[in-house]
Structure 1
Amino acid sequence: MSRPPKALAAAAALTLGLTACAGSDSGGEPADGSSSSSTTPPTESWEYVTEPELSPPVIDVRTDEEGAVLGEEDTYAAIGPKDEDKGSSMVGSMLVDSAGEPVWVLDATEGTQADLQVQEYEGEPVLTYWEGQAVVGVGEGEMVILDESYEEIARLGMTGDLDTNQTDMHETRITEDGTLLVAAYVPAEADLSEVDGPEQGWVYEAVIQEIDLETEEVLFEWSSLDEVPVTDSQYEMPDGGGTEEKPYDYFHINSINFDDDGELLISARNTSALYKLDHEKQEIIWTLGGESSDFEVPEEATFAFQHDVQRAEDGTLTLFDNANETDHTSRGLRLDVDEEAMTVEMAAEYTSDDERQADTQGNLQELENGNVVIGWGQHPAYSEYTADGELLYDASFGGGTSYRAYAVEWTGQPTQPPKAVRQDGSVFASWNGATEVASWEVASGSDAESAEVVAEGERDGFETELEVSDSDLGEYTEIRALDADGEVLETAEVSAG
C-alpha cells in the first residue's frame, strides 16, 4: 500500500483546489459539473494492495474542533468525487470517516454518479445515488438504492409520460410519506427571440414529479414553461444554443423539497430564484430572487445561481449561494422570510476563510443539533459550522468536484468477503464498506481447522498492513475481521501478491 505523505496531500489540496475554481466563468458556466476546456492534473490518491482498481482521493482534514458531528466516530461524510478533467482521481461515490479515510468506495462503471446520501426506503436505511450520463450539467439516468450489505435493491425515477432513465441528477429524494421527488430536463419548443435565440427555438423545460413509491402513481407534476418565461433566465445564450440539438437551459432545476406546510420549495439555478409551489393547484405561490421576485431582497441577502433550498427547523430558509456575478464569494445562507410582508432578511451566512468560489453545485445540510454541513460543489471541499457560523470541521479532497456532501450515519456489512493479500513480509487486509471492523487477525496452519493466530492489529484505515514472518505461515492462511468486542465478523483466505 502506498500512503501519500500528509504534507504533500495538503499542498496538493490547496493548489488543485484553487485551480478547480480559477478561470470559471461567473454566470457563463453552463451548468453543474460541466467540463472545462483545460485539464487539471489528477489529485493525489490512495493506492491499495487489496483493491488496486480503486483510487479514492486523499482527503486532508484541516479543521476538526470539539462539537463537530463530522468529527464523531459513527458519522461519515458522503461525497461523490467526479470530473476528472478538473483533477478528480476517480468518478463515483464514497463514505469517508472523521479522519478523512475512505470507508466505502464505489467506482462508476459507466457514466457518472452524484448525490450519495442515506435515506429510508420501505422502513430501512439505504444508500441512494444517481447514476447515468451527464452532458453540460443535464443528466439522464436513474436513482440507485443499496441496502446495508451494498446489494442493489431498486432503481427508481421519472414515470408517467417520461421514461425512468430520463431522471436528472439534481434531486432524488424519498419523503417521509413514501413518495419520491424527482425531476427531468425535457426538450421543448419555445420562442427565444427575446433572449438572443431563434424564434422557433428549443429549451430544456424542468418537469417535476412526486411519485407514490408503492403504486407508482404521479401525485404531482409541474412544468416550468407553464409559468416561468424564458426572459426570467439569467443564463447567457451560448453560441449555437437554443436549437433542437443544443437546447437552451433557461431554468436548471436543482432542488425539490417539501415545505413545512405541505407545499413544495424548489430552486432554479439559471433564473437565480426560489419558488414555492402549491401542491394541490400545482402552480407557483411566490418567487424569491431573480427577475420576477415577489419579495424585497436586501443586498446582503442577495444570492445567485444557487442550490438546495430547504426549510430549516427554526422556520428560516437555507440554501447554498454560488454567488456568481456578485460582489461576494460562495457561501451557505440562512434567510428569514416573511411571507405576509414579503420581506427577506439574512439570518446567518457560512463562509470560508479562503474565499471559496464554487460557480456550480453545492448544498447546505442542517443537522439535528443545529449545525450545518456545507458541500462546496465545484470547490473540492466540505465543512461543518455551528448554527451561527463558527467553523468546526473542514476537509479538502484536492481536485475534481462533488455535487453535494452530507454528514450521515450508516452501518454496513458487505455481502462480499474481506480481501487479503500476502506481499513482502506482510498481509494487507481490507473490507470495502464494512463499518464494524475494529481489528484484524491473521491465522495460518496446514488447513482452515488447524489455523492459529500469527499476527493481529487494530484496523488502520481502509487497508491495514499486518507484518507476518514467513516462518509462521503454513499452507493455509486466512484473515479474520473482528468487531469491537473481538467477535469474528467474517473470514477470507489470503491470496499471494
Structure 2
Amino acid sequence: MFLLTFFLSLVLGLRTVHAGTDLAWKDDTDLTSFITRPEIKSPLYDVKIHNPNGIEEGYWFVAPYVKIHQEKFPERYYQTCQTGPHIYDAQGELVWSGACMVNNRDTNDFRVVKYNDTTYLSAILHPLGSDFKGHGIIMNTSFSTVKSIYNPVTITNFNMHELNIVDQGTKALHIVAKPDLADVSALGTGLQAGWVANNGFREVDIGTGETTFEWWALDHVPLTESSVNITNLEGPHPSAWNFFHSNSVDKNADGDYLVSSRYTDCIYKISGKDGHVIWRLGGKDSSFILEGFNFSKQHDARFLHENSTHTVLSFLDNAADPFSETSDYSSALIVSLDTSATPMTARVTQRWERPDRQLSRLRGNFQLLPSGNAFICWSGNSYISEHSPDGEVLFEAKFTSHRSVSYRAYKFNFTSTPLEPPTLKAFGYGESPATSTTVLYVSWNGATEVKSWNFYRAEDSTLIGSKSKTGFETTYHSQGYQKEVYAEALAADGRVIGTSSIESTVLPAHWTSEGTKASEDQRTHHEWYKQEL
C-alpha cells in the first residue's frame, strides 16, 4: 500500500509540477507560453521566409498531434491544451488554439469550407471517451459547432483521412472502412477465404444525414492490385489485411469521384452512376502511359480541370513509405491526362520538389492556391512550404521540435470573431503605488480582426493607453498603479469588436491593499505566473 501511495503521489506531483508537460521532453520551450492563457501550450514554428513578396496572404490551418492512435491513458503527459485544431499566421504566430475546445483530442483535416454559401470550418475528431467512433464537425467563424457527421452503425471508426465538403456545401465525402471476409484464392497463400480491411467512401447529405452514395473497393478492385505485403488474412477482424488504404476522395462537376489508394499506388476515377472504375492512373494496371515520371504512396488527389479530351489532377507524390521508395525525394505534381489519345497518356505539367530533398514517407497534402502558388504539407514536424508557380521556394516552416506532427495543412483567407471575450491580466511593479508601473497582458484566442488595443481604468473608464496588436498576446506598460482595468479590441477602422472583463491588478508581495496584507495570489509576479500556472 505504501508503494502504491508513493507512486500515485509521485505521478500526481509530476503532473502538477510540470503542468502536464510531455515527460519525453526536458522542457516545454518548444511550446507557446502566455500570461493570459497559460493553459494553451501549442507547438512553436521555426519559419524561414525566402521571398516575402511572393507569398499569398492567408492563415495556416494545422492540427498537431503526438500519436495518431490516441491513448485513453497516455504513457506520456500532455499539456492541457496542446493537441487539436490550430490556426497560425504567415509568420508562424499562433492565432487560435482549439485544443481546449476539443478536450485535447486528436484532430485531422482541419480546413475552411463553404456550407450554405457561407464560410465555415470542418475537421475530423478522433475517437475519444464515449465518442468511441469519432465524427466530423462543421464550425462557424465563431468556432461553434453547427453540424456533426457520424458514421452509420454498420461502419467502424470515422476515418481520419478525409472530410470533403462538395456540391455547393450540401454534401460531405468521407472515407469508410470495415472488415470483410473475402475470396483471397488469387493471392496464392493457400487460403480460399480471408479477412480483408475493405476501404471505400460515403457521400452524405449534410442537412439530413442521409447516405447519397457509397462505394467499396472490394466490389471493384482485385486484391492482386495491392502493392503491400499480405498480412493477417485469418483475423482478428479489426487488424485484417489492409490491401487498399484510401486517403482522399474528390468529386467533379459530372458527379464522378476521384479516389487515391496508397496501398495500390493508384488513383481511380469512379463512376457516380454505378461505381465502376472508369480509369486507373498508376499502379499495376494503369489505364495511362506515364510519360517520363512515376509516383507511389501518393496522397490528396484532386480534380483541377476537365473537358472532353483532358483531365488535370493534383496530388502529392510521397514516393515512399517506411519500407520502400521510388524517388529520391517527395514532390507535388500537377498531371495532365489525355483521355482522347490511343493509348491514353499522362504527363507532369508542374512539379514542386520538397525543399530539403527528403522523403515524406507518411501523410501530407498539396493545395493549389488561387494565385497559382503551391502550398504543401510534407507532414513530419508539420513541415510546410509555399512555392511560386515557377518553382521558387517562398517560405518553409516546421515545428521547432519533433514532439508533434500534422497529417495535413492548408492555407486560407479567413475572418473570425470568437464568442468568448478577450482575456486580460494585470500586474503591479514598484516600491509603492505612487512609484509603480502596471503591466497589462491581453489576448483574444481566434480573433483575426484585432489591429489594436485600448486599455482603461475601470473605476472611471479613463483611457490609460493604446497599443497595436503584437502576436497572440500584447503587453502594455502603464505608469502608476491601476487597481482595476479592462481592455477593448479595435478593428482597423477603429470599431470596438470585443471587450474584456474587468480584472484586478495582482500586487507585489510587499504591498498591502486598503490596509489588508496582500494575499498569496497577490504575492505572485508575472514570471512565476508564466512558468508555473
TM-score band (shorter)?
0.7 to 0.9
Paired position in structure 1 for 2:316: 320
Amino acid at match of 1:168: N
Paired position in structure 2 for 1:338: 338
Paired position in structure 2 for 1:49: 35
Larger relative contact order (CA 8 Å, sep ≥ 6): 1
Cα-to-partner distance string for 1:342-387 (whole Å, 9 max, x where unaligned): 2111212111331132111111111122222111123521111122
Cα-to-partner distance string for 1:413-454 (whole Å, 9 max, x where unaligned): 1111111112364111110000111111221142xxx12122
Partner of residue 468 from structure 1, selected from 455, 471, 478: 478
Please give the secondary structure, in 1, of the residue aligned with 2:134. Answer: strand
Answering whether residue 269 of structure 2 is matched by residue 276 of structure 1, we say yes
For 2:214 and 2:32, the matched residues in 1 are separated by: 44
For 1:64 and 1:480, the matched residues in 2 are separated by: 36
For 2:466 and 2:386, the matched residues in 1 are separated by: 36
Please give the secondary structure, in 2, of the residue aligned with 1:297. Answer: strand
Cα-to-partner distance string for 1:27-70 (whole Å, 9 max, x where unaligned): xxxxxxxxxxxx78777111111111111111122125245444
For 2:32 and 2:234, the matched residues in 1 are separated by: 41
Q: 1:372 to 1:242 in 2, by over 3 A?
A: farther
Paired position in structure 2 for 1:306: 298
Paired position in structure 2 for 1:441: 454
Please give the secondary structure, in 1, of the residue aligned with 2:448. Answer: coil
Please give the secondary structure, in 1, of the residue aligned with 2:250. Answer: strand
Worse-matched range after superposition: 388-397 or 460-469:
388-397
Report if the CA contact (8 A) 1:198-1:242 is conserved.
no
Cα-to-partner distance string for 1:375-420 (whole Å, 9 max, x where unaligned): 1123521111122322222221233221111111111111111111
Q: 1:217 to 1:304 in 2, by over 3 A?
A: same
- How far 1:238 sits from its partner (Å)? 5.0
Answering whether residue 488 of structure 2 is matched by residue 494 of structure 1, we say no
Amino acid at match of 2:358: R
Matches within 5 A, 1:77-116: 77-83=60-66, 90-107=82-99, 108-109=102-103, 111-116=105-110
For 1:53 and 1:336, the matched residues in 2 are separated by: 48
Please give the secondary structure, in 2, of the residue aligned with 1:225. Answer: helix
Q: 1:391 to 1:195 in 2, by over 3 A?
A: farther
Amino acid at match of 2:66: D
Name structure 2 gaps, 5 residues minimum.
1-23, 70-75, 430-437, 507-528
Paired position in structure 2 for 1:267: 260
Q: 1:247 to 1:110 in 2, by over 3 A?
A: farther
For 2:456 and 2:492, the matched residues in 1 are separated by: 19
Please give the secondary structure, in 1, of the residue aligned with 2:361. Answer: coil
Report if the CA contact (8 A) 1:197-1:241 is conserved.
no
Paired position in structure 2 for 1:295: 288
Q: 1:197 to 1:327 in 2, by over 3 A?
A: farther
Paired position in structure 1 for 2:487: 479
For 1:203 and 1:259, the matched residues in 2 are separated by: 29
Question: What's the TM-score, normalizing by structure 2?
Answer: 0.77
Paired position in structure 1 for 2:224: 231
Q: 1:217 to 1:44 in 2, by over 3 A?
A: same
- How far 1:313 sits from its partner (Å)? 4.3
Please give the secondary structure, in 1, of the residue aligned with 2:218. Answer: helix
Please give the secondary structure, in 2, of the residue aligned with 1:271. Answer: coil
- How far 1:182 sits from its partner (Å)? 1.2
Paired position in structure 2 for 1:119: 113
Please give the secondary structure, in 2, of the residue aligned with 1:432. Answer: coil
For 1:199 and 1:68, the matched residues in 2 are separated by: 58
Please give the secondary structure, in 1, of the residue aligned with 2:335. Answer: strand
Report if the CA contact (8 A) 2:61-2:411 is conserved.
yes
Please give the secondary structure, in 1, of the residue aligned with 2:224. Answer: helix
Question: What's the TM-score, normalizing by structure 1?
Answer: 0.83
Amino acid at match of 2:85: S
Paired position in structure 2 for 1:430: 443
Answering whether residue 45 of structure 2 is matched by residue 59 of structure 1, we say yes
Amino acid at match of 2:503: V
For 2:304 and 2:286, the matched residues in 1 are separated by: 21
Q: Which structure has the larger Rg?
A: 2
Name structure 1 gaps, 5 residues minimum.
1-38
For 2:188 and 2:469, the matched residues in 1 are separated by: 59
